[in-house]
Amino acid sequence: MKRQFYTAGVFLLVALLICSSCNQRPKVKENQVKNSKGQTGTVEVEIFDAVKLKDQLVDIIKTAPKPADLVDFINKGGYSYMADLTLSTDNAEKYLTLTEQSLAAGVYKFDLYYAKVYNRYDLVDQIFDVEQKLVGKIGLQGDITAMKKYNDRIKQNKENTDSLNVIISAVMNELGQSYLSGEHSGVYALSYVSANIEGLYILTQIASMAKDNTELIKLIGLQKDRVKTNYQLLEIMAADPAVAPIFEKMKPILNSFSGPEFTAKQFAEVTPLIAGLRNEIGK
C-alpha cells in the first residue's frame, strides 16, 4: 500500500466529514456492479451528513457478520491451523499511518482469535503484544485499557492452556464491543474490514489447497453479506485518499459474489483478488 504520510493523530475521516458537511440532507447513491456473466445490479449506499456518518458506520457493524465466525467455520470443518497464512508479527513496525495501523490491527485481531481457537498459545502471546502496540499507537483507549488489564494474566498463565483460553476469550469479547461507543468509528470500521479480509484470505487459501474443496466453496459463497458489508463501509470512507485504493480493490471482489450462485469459476476468480487485497493491506 502506498504510504500516505499524514500528520500524526489526524482523524481518518476528516476529509470525508468536511465534504459531507457541505450537504446536510441524506441522499442515496447507487453503484452499479457486474458479475462474471455480465449481469448488472446496483448496491445502494446512503451518504449522510457529518453528524450521522459516525452512527452509520457503527450501525452497519452492529448487525454485520462477525469475522470470528470464519475461524469457527474453519475449525469445525476439521482443517489444520496454518500459521504461514497469518500476518507476520515482524511486519508490525512497518505501519506508520493511521490507516495502515487500523487495517493491520484488524488483521492481527483476526489472527489472534485464529491462534486462540486452535490453542496455539505460543503464537497468541506474540500476536497479543503486537496488537497491544498497535492500538496504543492508534489511541483506542477502550482497547488499550482492556488489553492492559489482561496482559499480566496472559504472561502468568502461558503454560496453562485452560486459563489462557478463558483469558483470551474475555479480552476478545471486550475488544469486540469497543466500537459500540461510536468513538473512532472510522478506525474500527477499517479494522472490521481488514479482519474480514484476513478471514476470507485464509479460508480461500485453505480451499485452494484442499483436495476436495466442494464444501469450502459453498461456505465461501455464503459470505456475500460479509463482502457487501465491507464494500459499504469502504464506500462511506472512500473520500479519504488513503482508503480509496482499498475500496477500488474491493469492487471486483463484490462483483464475484453478485451472481445468483457462487460456483467454482467464481471461486477461481475471487481467490487471487482477495489475496491481492490482503497482501496490499499487510505489506
Looking at residue 214, what is its pLDDT?
92
244 inside domain? yes
Chain segment 86-132, per-residue pLDDT in tens: 999 998 889 999 999 999 999 999 999 999 899 898 898 899 889 88
Where does the chain show beta strands of DSSP type E?
27-34, 40-47
30 inside domain? no
1 inside domain? no
Q: Provide, rounded to the nearest whole percent, the portion of the chain with pLDDT above 90.
A: 43
Which range marks the domain in which residue 67 is found? Answer: 54-282
Per-residue pLDDT averaged across 267-274, rounded? Answer: 97
6 inside domain? no
Using 50, 70 and 90 to split pLDDT, how confident is the model at 227?
A: very high
Tell me how far CA of residue 43 lies from CA of 28, 31, 34, 156, 257, in angstroms. 10, 5, 11, 49, 12
Strand partners, 120: none
Nearest to 58 by CA among 182, 142, 172: 182
Set of cell numbers at residue 197: 479480509
Please report where in the chains the cell 493491520 appears, as a residue: 104
- Exposed, middle or buried, 44 (CB in 10 Å: 0-12/13-18/19+)? exposed
Per-residue pLDDT averaged across 61-66, rounded? Answer: 87
Q: Looking at the whole model, is its pTM more than 0.85?
A: no
| 12 pLDDT above the threshold of 90 | no
Selected residue with higher pLDDT from 139 and 270 = 270
Set of cell numbers at residue 255: 462483483
Query: Rounded to whole angstroms, how far apart are CA atoms 153 and 147?
Result: 10
| 43 pLDDT above the threshold of 60 | no
Number of domains in the chain: 1
| 14 pLDDT above the threshold of 60 | no
115 inside domain? yes
Q: 168: helix, coil or strand?
A: helix
49 inside domain? no
Per-residue pLDDT averaged across 33-54, rounded? Answer: 47
48 inside domain? no
Which of 27-36, 191-200, 260-269 comes out lowest in average pLDDT? 27-36
269 inside domain? yes
